[in-house]
Structure 1
Amino acid sequence: MAEIVKYVYVIIIFPSLILFATNIEAIIRCFHDADCVHKICHPPQIRKCVSKICKCRLMITQKDYVLT
């Protein structure tokens, strides 16, 4: 009987650990742009602190424009 109870506990605990511990889109709090070092952005974007949350923002520079 005790083994059945342990088995039920294992069935409940391990899936809950997987569901709650793997939050990929966690919010990173910041005060300045320098606080966002852990945020990973794709190349045309850079890390910015917007409303105290680190976000990836597309930054267009002058070298992105070509005179034709």
Structure 2
Amino acid sequence: MIAAMQGFRDLFEGDNPAKKLIRGIGMRLVGQLPGAKDEIMKRALGLKGDLPELAKQVWLERAY
């Protein structure tokens, strides 16, 4: 997971034209795939996926 996040940071950092092209293609693909955007957002917000119990408790406390 750490390597994936490092990869995202590297991809979105800078103004390299090749990186811009790859970012644009990737963002368009995610936007066009049914449910992909929602799935990514749910995982990023901690609403889906494997979370430690402590993280689940914090989320529930903030929701109410």
Q: Same fold (TM over 0.5)?
A: no
- What TM-score comes out, normalization by structure 1 length? 0.27
Which structure would you say has the larger RCO, counting Cα contacts within 8 Å and 6 or more residues apart? 1
Q: Which protein has the bigger strand share?
A: 1
- What TM-score comes out, normalization by structure 2 length? 0.29
Q: Which protein has the bigger helix share?
A: 2
